[in-house]
Amino acid sequence: MFELIQHPNSSSKTLTFDNESLNVLVINRVGELDVDSLQNIDGILVQTNTSQEAKELIRIIRSNRNRLHALVPVFISSTVSKLHTIKYQFDGVFSDDTKPVILQQLKSIKAKLREMNYEIHQLDYTQSLIQSALQFSYSREQIFEPARSRTSKIGYAYPFLSVVLKDEEAPRVIEILNKSYEEGYTVKQTKDKTHTCRTCSGGYLNYRECCPKCGSADLKTEDLIHHFLCAHIAPEQDYKKEDALECPKCDKELRHIGIDYDKPSSMHTCNDCSHQFQQAEVKALCIDCGKDNELSQLGNIEIASYELTPLGEQAAKYGIHIQTGATEQPRKVNAVSEQILELFKKQEISREGLSEKLSWEGSVRIHPEIMSGFHVDQQEIIQKEMCAIITNYLGKADVLSSPSTIWYRFLVYDQTPESIEKIGKLIQNNISKLISDGIGTFDNPVEVLISKLTNG
Ligand SMILES: [Zn+2]
Ligand SMILES: [Zn+2]
Ligand SMILES: [Zn+2]
């Protein structure tokens, strides 16, 4: 079923599957990974000696600037040491027993990866991380579940995001996931809570009793003894007489706890400042930055699982930019009159042949029934929204005109047939979505036609 092939010009090997055109690159050391040669790779098998090196490898792979390469299925060999500390970052554990499962996973992830749009439309870093995370989750059909992690700054790590960001950035992973929740891409369910340092958000805290006067942890603690008979209360030391306890006030011997006496509380003495007190103050020392925190000052982070919503799935497939306007810059829409569009068209046709790439004319027609139920003012608002969606996919020099609320025309310069086809599909999908989300369900609500620019 499996065959190992040695590459002619390198030390790397590829796993091939009988009757399946799938290539899985086998990597034994970090140095063997060439991130630029992942074009024809369907998956990667990490077979390092240590989990540390495996982690370094998965970080390099998942941080790839090319989104498709960053999301490639990556499996880890069952032979890697301390596998349990790292395996949640991989798509599966490869061994003789798991081969058939791995093959299925490979195929399923590959199919999902093909469904998605990898263009990043002017997303800021956080938004593009959210989009990658949604795409990861979607392609794996996997919920973001927190995994306990000794190396994460807050004690928990998540698949994908926790390797793309560094261990110290664990609080930011939570921030990003929470943002995905706030924007409606995920639903979350609380799994745990963790307290964090007020200064550095670290979760490794040493809780101990301290002197309320000088803060020292060097305390001597003694039980207080309450003699029932004479009501005297003093530290245990004061009652000690050889092996027995004797009351320093009334000189009676104390025999039975609960009958003669009890220990109502304890007494602390600070070895640094000699302060005596009953209630020591519990403080949390941050192991990372060394700051002492009072308990009331600690941060409280919710550790949750995050699951994609239908909106999150849409964002994974078609891009995040179309979903909510809330965090985006207002889009500038410059629709021109039809005469101007015709003028540009004429110019472009006369220029034809000078450029290697092709120019295109497109039109979007909205089913007339969709607009008929709206007041003219509302129609104009919808028209602007439609223009905004189309503008999203046009370049700076491209031209858009909207002769009526149900008709839109545009010119797109210098695109290959493949990319113009993609643009057409994106416009069609996103306008259909605007209609189905905001207006209602119609058969064939949008028709997008694109043709090569020609005379007449
Ligand atoms: Zn003290
Ligand atoms: Zn007494
Ligand atoms: Zn700290």
- Does one domain contain both 266 and 400? no
Confirm whether 225 is domain-assigned.
yes
The token duo for 29 is: 């050391």
Q: Give a yes or no: residue 322 inside a domain.
A: no
The pLDDT score that the predictor gives to residue 5 is 52
Q: Report CA(221)–ligand 1 centroid distance (Å).
A: 13
List CB-based neighbours of ion ligand 3 within 5 Å.
Answer: 197, 199-200, 202, 286, 288-289, 291
- Residues 92 and 221 grouped into a single domain: no
If one compares 440 and 264, the residue with the highest pLDDT of the two is: 264
246 within domain boundaries: yes
What residue spans of 367-416 are helical by DSSP H?
368-372, 376-392
Each residue's pLDDT tens digit, 102-146: 999 999 999 998 888 776 556 778 888 999 999 999 999 999 999
Write down the pLDDT at residue 322. 46
Write the Ramachandran bin of 407: left for phi over 0, alpha for psi from -120 to 50, otherwise beta.
beta
Amino acid 44: pLDDT: 93
Span of 244-258, 283-297, 324-338, 439-453 with lowest mean pLDDT? 324-338
**What CATH number has the domain bearing residue 389?**
3.30.70.270
Helix (H) or strand (E) holding 262: strand 261-262
Per-residue model confidence as pLDDT tens digits over 368-390: 888 877 777 778 888 888 888 88
Distance 302 CA to ligand 3 centre (A): 18
Residue bearing tokens 């439609």: 386
pLDDT confidence of residue 355: 63
- Report how far apart, in Å, the C-alpha atoms of 3 and of each of 16, 37, 79, 259 are: 5, 21, 18, 80
Cα–ligand 1 centroid distance for 278 (angstroms):
13
Residues 146 and 270 in one domain: no
Mean residue pLDDT of the chain comes to 86
Angle between helices 376-392 and 417-438 (to 10 degrees): 150
pTM summary value: 0.64
387's CB contacts (< 8 A; 6+ apart) are 333, 335, 400, 402, 408
Q: Give the chain's domain count.
A: 3
Q: Residue 249 sits in which domain range?
A: 212-279
On whether both 85 and 36 belong to a single domain, the answer is yes
pLDDT at 121: 58
In this structure, the dihedral spanned by the alpha carbons of residues 251, 252, 254 and 260, taken in order and rounded to 10 degrees, is: -130
pLDDT tens figures, 312-336: 998 898 877 544 444 444 445 678 8
Q: Which residues neighbour ligand 2 (ion) by CB within 5 Å?
A: 227, 230, 232, 247, 249-250
Position 90 scores a pLDDT of: 96
Residues with CB under 5 A from ligand 1 (ion): 211, 213-214, 216, 270, 272-273, 275
Residues 166 and 25 in one domain: yes
Asked if 107 and 218 sit in the same domain, the reply is no
* Cα–Cα distance, 346 to 272 (Å, whole number): 89
- Is residue 200 situated within a structural domain? no
Same domain, yes or no, for 340 and 224?
no
